[in-house]
Structure 1
């Protein structure tokens, strides 16, 4: 599958390791930086979603090729030692994408009412309200400052991830992704409402999040493979 991530904000908070480990499926261990687990809330817009067909041809699915998406994620190590992302939730504005991802990949997608717009001066206004189960809401405004983000170890830990993990059919499975290194900028954000962590029993610390912004990134993803 090929896709483009546009107008993406990384907002990260440190949380106690034990709290995150208690909510992970068997076989996955928290990946730690500076003694903490990290929770990320990541709003963006998915665009140019295309699926591989016969041979090298790709095709797009109506209503599932462009839509807002919002992730609650942490970082883990799989039984084979590979580090990557674990998603507690992935909210999407496309019902077809939600159903397809749940059935095809076992990913915890939720159908949400979502709106995203960008002002002429580059401020992204983002709103998501989850439908039906695990109620959660996210409302924020954010933008790039125009200054490149520091190339430090924390940035790499939080963003340079090329695998995602799920527990499915009694085993840990991995989906591997490929993309160019992130071009990340410093960001400013006003997060008005954020109950995604609360919907999974997490309480965020009383501190400002670590913020990064990316305008666009193209990536490819492959089907899941069993790792344990």
Structure 2
């Protein structure tokens, strides 16, 4: 399977990393919730070395919720006791040099081992009680952080269009086809990389009951969101490396 993914690169705007990938994951029932936001609001939250990426002068923040399964390390069988988990990431869109990618403000997970692993990898991660349930084609996703740091998400969503590919140089393509990520730890900027086939997506109808994962921002700063749904994606993941 991974050879087919590696040979499918025409949709990327940068070559694959020279180093070998280290992990494969399958992502299912993904909801992308994209919010336009003024640039001056997000810029103070970026670490040194990253520049806010914009689409026609507008910045964006996204909340992505999904199920993770089929976790496999390179040349190894499926990881035991990690058959599936749920995850949310809150991210914005950044650049460093000629590379475009995302910067994660937070990741919420419902598996403690996954949380600990992400923290070792320098990602800002929270342990949360989470559930996902498919009721007659509508996905109900709920999450509440454990511990002192508050953060909740409760949404119901379903696809509302035929499957399509985002057109090049359109906003949807700009938001989704991102293959680098950055995080910041102990004064150092770290870069990771991923690769997968081109996104097959659908428009999504979304009902949001609770959302406090962006409490570091004012709710007045977030514009009307866009919603996209993807049934599944298999991704290859590279190890984080310190930027020079």
Q: Shift of residue 206 of structure 1? A: 6.5
Counterpart residue number, 2:59:
37
2:69 to 22, 31, 47: 47
Q: Shift of residue 19 of structure 1? A: 1.0
Deviations 1:184-221 (A, max 9, x none): 111111011111111x2342557531111000000110
Q: Please tell me whether residue 60 in structure 1 is matched to residue 82 in structure 2.
A: no
Aligned counterparts of 1:95 and 1:176: Cα–Cα separation in 2: 23
Structure 2 vs 1, CA of residues 160 and 72 (structure 1 numbering), >3 Å: closer, same or farther?
same
Q: How does the TM-score come out when normalised to structure 2?
A: 0.85
- Given that 1:4 and 1:49 are in contact with CA atoms closer than 8 Å, whether structure 2 keeps it comes out as yes
Structure 2 vs 1, CA of residues 100 and 205 (structure 1 numbering), >3 Å: closer, same or farther?
same
Counterpart residue number, 2:189:
172
Listed as ranges, the gaps of 5+ residues in structure 2 are 1-22
Listed as ranges, the gaps of 5+ residues in structure 1 are none
Aligned counterparts of 1:123 and 1:172: Cα–Cα separation in 2: 39
Q: How does the TM-score come out when normalised to structure 1?
A: 0.91
- Given that 1:5 and 1:218 are in contact with CA atoms closer than 8 Å, whether structure 2 keeps it comes out as yes
1:125 to 140, 165, 173: 140
- Given that 2:35 and 2:222 are in contact with CA atoms closer than 8 Å, whether structure 1 keeps it comes out as no
Which 4+ stretches in 1 moved above 4 angstroms? 204-207
Q: Please tell me whether residue 144 in structure 1 is matched to residue 159 in structure 2.
A: yes
Structure 2 vs 1, CA of residues 206 and 28 (structure 1 numbering), >3 Å: closer, same or farther?
closer
Aligned counterparts of 1:86 and 1:10: Cα–Cα separation in 2: 15
Counterpart residue number, 1:15:
37
Counterpart residue number, 2:118:
101
Q: Shift of residue 130 of structure 1? A: 0.8
Aligned counterparts of 1:221 and 1:116: Cα–Cα separation in 2: 24
Structure 2 vs 1, CA of residues 205 and 168 (structure 1 numbering), >3 Å: closer, same or farther?
closer
Deviations 1:161-193 (A, max 9, x none): 001111234322211111000001111110111
- Given that 2:71 and 2:79 are in contact with CA atoms closer than 8 Å, whether structure 1 keeps it comes out as yes
Q: Please tell me whether residue 111 in structure 1 is matched to residue 133 in structure 2.
A: no
Between 1:169-178 and 1:34-43, the stretch displaced more is 169-178
Aligned counterparts of 1:215 and 1:180: Cα–Cα separation in 2: 13
Q: Shift of residue 109 of structure 1? A: 1.1
Deviations 1:42-96 (A, max 9, x none): 11111111223xxx2344041x341110111111112x33110111011001011
Paired residues in the alignment total 220
Counterpart residue number, 1:210:
226
